[in-house]
Amino acid sequence: MDPRHCSIPPNVVAAVNISGVIERGPPGARLPFADCSRYTNFILVKNGHLLIVQSEDIPSSEAWRTMAYEDAVADFQAREARISQRLSVVASLIDTIDFNKSQFVVLVSDAQQTRLVTQCSDTIPPLTAPSGWLPRVQESDLYVCQWSGDRVYCIWNDQQVDVFMSFSVANRWRVQQMITITHLLERLKINITYEPLAIVVRGAEVLGLVMARVEGRLLEMRDRSRTILWPNFMKQTLCLKADSVWMIF
């Protein structure tokens, strides 16, 4: 992405998000909670290029809700210190990775050394989008303004837009689902999402979806009543998005 409108100076590596990831599988194929994979992602950006570093889980205390205030604050600060220490390890290895060629890497610590290893492309599920539905815009043609959690605020075609991309290998199915269901709703002329504008690509690889600037609330289970006259398969489809990013006018 073109970072000229972004406040991050060129060639500076910035951590724009640090989050825990629980790999539970797609809807309809959920893993038992005890079998879920957990890890911590560091989302780094340099000169408009993302690098997503998967590392060992940094858990928070399960009992913080019942702790005394002072104990909860101390527990939070201890976890923040562990995150900072982990980030410093990533930073010490950052020159070993080319931001232009890699997007997903894994922090590996073993008897040999601590190092960053590029995620094997065979383990990264490809994203697809219907041809002829939306224009395709190269990632480099988006002017990034701000990185924010599960989306990137950009300028494209002289308008502010939201770009939804995958910020972990485990959750790429969410972006795929967003593309698939948005296309379905458009085809059925069901107008309950903000306008999809383009598919983001890098070369021929599908990366994500450009949407009109999103303002609103999440689709919730109580919104099922709005589908009373819709086919049953639409009710089921909408339920899949209850924990994701669909918006209601």
Q: Is 212 exposed, middle or buried (0-12, 13-18, 19+ CB in 10 A)?
A: middle
> Same domain for 152 and 235?
yes
User: Residue 138 has what pLDDT?
Assistant: 94
111 & 147 share domain: no
CA distances from 30 to 25, 26, 27, 173 (A): 5, 6, 6, 13
From 86, 102, 123, the end of a domain falls on: 123
55 by Cβ neighbours in 10 Å (0-12 / 13-18 / 19+) ranks as buried
- Residue recorded with tokens 């999809």: 196
Number of domains in the chain: 2
Angle at 215 between CA 209 and CA 218, to 5 degrees: 80
Contact indicator for 241, 193 with CB cutoff of 8 Å:
no
Last residue of some domain: 90, 123, 156?
A: 123
What is residue 219's predicted lDDT score, i.e. its pLDDT? Answer: 65
Which residue segment(s) compose the domain that 63 sits in? 14-123
For residues 172 and 94, the answer to whether their CB atoms sit within 8 Å is: no
- The pLDDT of residue 247: 36
The tens place of each residue's pLDDT in the chain, 249 residues long, gives: 888 888 888 888 988 888 888 888 777 777 887 778 888 999 898 988 889 999 998 887 777 677 788 888 888 898 899 999 999 999 999 999 988 888 899 999 887 789 999 988 777 888 999 999 999 999 989 999 888 766 889 999 999 999 998 888 888 888 999 999 999 988 888 877 788 999 999 888 899 999 998 776 666 777 766 654 444 444 333 433 333 333 332
Beta bridge mates, 196 = 211
40 and 119 inside one domain: yes
Per the DSSP assignment, residues forming a β-bridge with 113 are: none
Q: Are residues 104 and 142 in the same domain?
A: no
170-209: burial string, b at 16+ Cβ within 10 Å, e else:
bbbbbbbbbbbbbbebbeeeeeebbebbbbbbeeeebbbb
Whether the Cβ atoms of residue 152 and residue 146 lie closer than 8 Å to each other: yes
